[in-house]
Structure 1
Amino acid sequence: MVATPDWVKKAVFYQIFPDRFAIGHHQAIAVAQQPKLEPWETPLTVQGYKGGNLWGVIEQLDYLQELGITALYLTPIFQSACNHRYHTHDYYQVDPLLGGNEALQALLTAVHEREMKVVLDGVFNHASRGFYFFNDILENGPHSPWLDWFYIEDWPLSAYDGSLPANYRGWVDLRALPQFNHDNPDVREYLMRVGEYWIAQGIDGWRLDVPDCVKAEGFWAEFRRRVKAINPEAYIVGEIWCDASPWLGGDQFDGVMNYRFTEPTVAFTIGDRLQKEHLRGEEYRPYPALNADAYGEKISQLLQRHPWEIQLTQLNLLNSHDTARLLTLANGDRPSVNLALLLMFTFPGAPCVYYGDEVGLAGGADPDCRRVFPAKTDWDLDCWEFYRQLIALRHRYQCLQLGDYKILVTAGMGYAFQRQYGDETLIIAVNAGDNVTEISLSPEILDLDKIERIESIFTTDSQIEIQQTPSVLSVTMPPQSGKIFRFGHQE
Structure 2
Amino acid sequence: MTKGVDVDMKMEAVEHKAAYPDLYLRNRNTLGFKIRTARGDVKKCILYYFSRDKTEQKKSAVMTKCCRDEFFDYFLTEVSFSQVARYQKYYFALFFGQEVRYLSAVGFSEMPPEDNYFEMVYANQQNVLNFPEWAKGAVYYQIFPERFYNGDRKNDRPETVDWGTAPSRENYMGGDLRGICEKLDYLRQLGVECLYLTPIFAADFNHKYATTDYFEIDPQFGDKDDLRELVQKAHDSNMKVILDGVFNHTGIHFFAFADILKNQQNSAYKDWYLLTQFPVTVSNACYECVGAYPYMPKLNTDSSAVREFLLKVMDYWIAEFGIDGWRLDVADEVEESVWSLARVRLKEKYPNILLLGETWGSGQRLLNGMQMDSIMNYTFRSAVCDFIAKGSISAAGFANRLGNMLAGYPPEISHIMFNLLDSHDTARFLFLCRGNKKKLILAVALQMLLPGAPSVYYGDEVGLTGDNDPDCRRCMPWGEAEQDMDIKAVYSRLIFIRKENPCIRGGSLAVNVADGQVFGFLRFDWETQEEIMAVVNAGETDAELLAPVLFDGKHSGIFNDNKEYEVITGNTAGFENADMWDYQGVIPFRLMPMEVKIVKGGARK
From 211, 214, 217, the counterpart of 2:331: 211
- The structure with the largest helix share of the pair is 1
Q: Summarize the alignment of residues 416-431 of structure 1 with structure 2, pairs less than 5 Å apart.
A: 416-421=520-525, 422-431=528-537
The gaps in structure 2 that reach 5 residues or longer are: 1-24, 26-128, 571-585
- The structure with the largest strand share of the pair is 2
Q: TM (normalized to structure 1)? A: 0.90
1:156 counterpart letter in structure 2: P
From 514, 536, 539, the counterpart of 1:433: 539
Q: Deviations over 1:137-169 (max 9, x none)?
A: 11122221111111122222221xx6xx63122
Contact 2:331-2:357 within 8 A present in 1 as well: yes
Count of residues in correspondence between the two structures: 458
User: SS of the counterpart of 1:469?
Assistant: coil
For the structure 1 residues 364 and 217, does the alpha-carbon distance in structure 2 shift closer, same or farther, using more than 3 Å as the test? Answer: closer
Contact 1:244-1:256 within 8 A present in 2 as well: yes
Mean CA deviation greater in 477-486 or 361-370: 477-486
Deviation at 1:173?
A: 2.3
For the structure 1 residues 213 and 317, does the alpha-carbon distance in structure 2 shift closer, same or farther, using more than 3 Å as the test? Answer: same
- 1:129 is aligned to 2:252: yes
Contact 2:248-2:298 within 8 A present in 1 as well: yes
User: SS of the counterpart of 1:295?
Assistant: helix
Q: Deviations over 1:153-206 (max 9, x none)?
A: 2222221xx6xx631221222110111111111011111111111121211010
For the structure 1 residues 291 and 355, does the alpha-carbon distance in structure 2 shift closer, same or farther, using more than 3 Å as the test? Answer: same
Deviation at 1:254?
A: 1.0
Q: Summarize the alignment of residues 35-434 of structure 1 with structure 2, pairs less than 5 Å apart.
A: 35-159=158-282, 166-201=285-320, 202-214=322-334, 216-272=335-391, 289-376=392-479, 377-421=481-525, 422-434=528-540
Q: TM (normalized to structure 2)? A: 0.73
> What is the distance in 2 between the residues matched to 1:407 and 1:66?
31
Contact 1:237-1:254 within 8 A present in 2 as well: yes
User: SS of the counterpart of 2:343?
Assistant: helix
From 470, 480, 484, the counterpart of 2:569: 470
Q: Deviations over 1:261-292 (max 9, x none)?
A: 111112111234xxxxxxxxxxxxxxxx1111
Deviation at 1:355?
A: 0.4
Deviation at 1:453?
A: 2.5
> What is the distance in 2 between the residues matched to 1:44 and 1:245?
36
Bigger RCO (CA 8 Å, 6+ sep): 1
User: SS of the counterpart of 1:121?
Assistant: strand
Q: Which residue of 2 aligns with 1:454?
A: 555
What is the percentage of aligned positions where both structures have the same residue?
A: 39
1:438 counterpart letter in structure 2: E
Deviation at 1:439?
A: 2.6
Q: Deviations over 1:226-255 (max 9, x none)?
A: 221221111111111011111112221111
Q: Which residue of 2 aligns with 1:277?
A: none
2:600 counterpart letter in structure 1: R
Q: Deviations over 1:104-125 (max 9, x none)?
A: 1111111111121001001000
Contact 1:465-1:475 within 8 A present in 2 as well: no
Contact 2:136-2:452 within 8 A present in 1 as well: yes
Deviation at 1:259?
A: 0.8
Contact 2:438-2:595 within 8 A present in 1 as well: yes
Deviation at 1:4?
A: 1.5
Deviation at 1:467?
A: 5.7
> What is the distance in 1 between the residues matched to 2:265 and 2:406?
51
Q: Deviations over 1:28-69 (max 9, x none)?
A: 38xxxx633111132222112111000000000011111111
For the structure 1 residues 464 and 83, does the alpha-carbon distance in structure 2 shift closer, same or farther, using more than 3 Å as the test? Answer: farther
Deviation at 1:10?
A: 4.2
For the structure 1 residues 456 and 226, does the alpha-carbon distance in structure 2 shift closer, same or farther, using more than 3 Å as the test? Answer: same
Mean CA deviation greater in 371-380 or 165-174: 165-174
For the structure 1 residues 10 and 447, does the alpha-carbon distance in structure 2 shift closer, same or farther, using more than 3 Å as the test? Answer: closer
**Moved >4 Å (runs of 4+):** 462-468
2:449 counterpart letter in structure 1: T
The gaps in structure 1 that reach 5 residues or longer are: 273-288
Contact 2:448-2:454 within 8 A present in 1 as well: yes
Contact 2:534-2:597 within 8 A present in 1 as well: yes
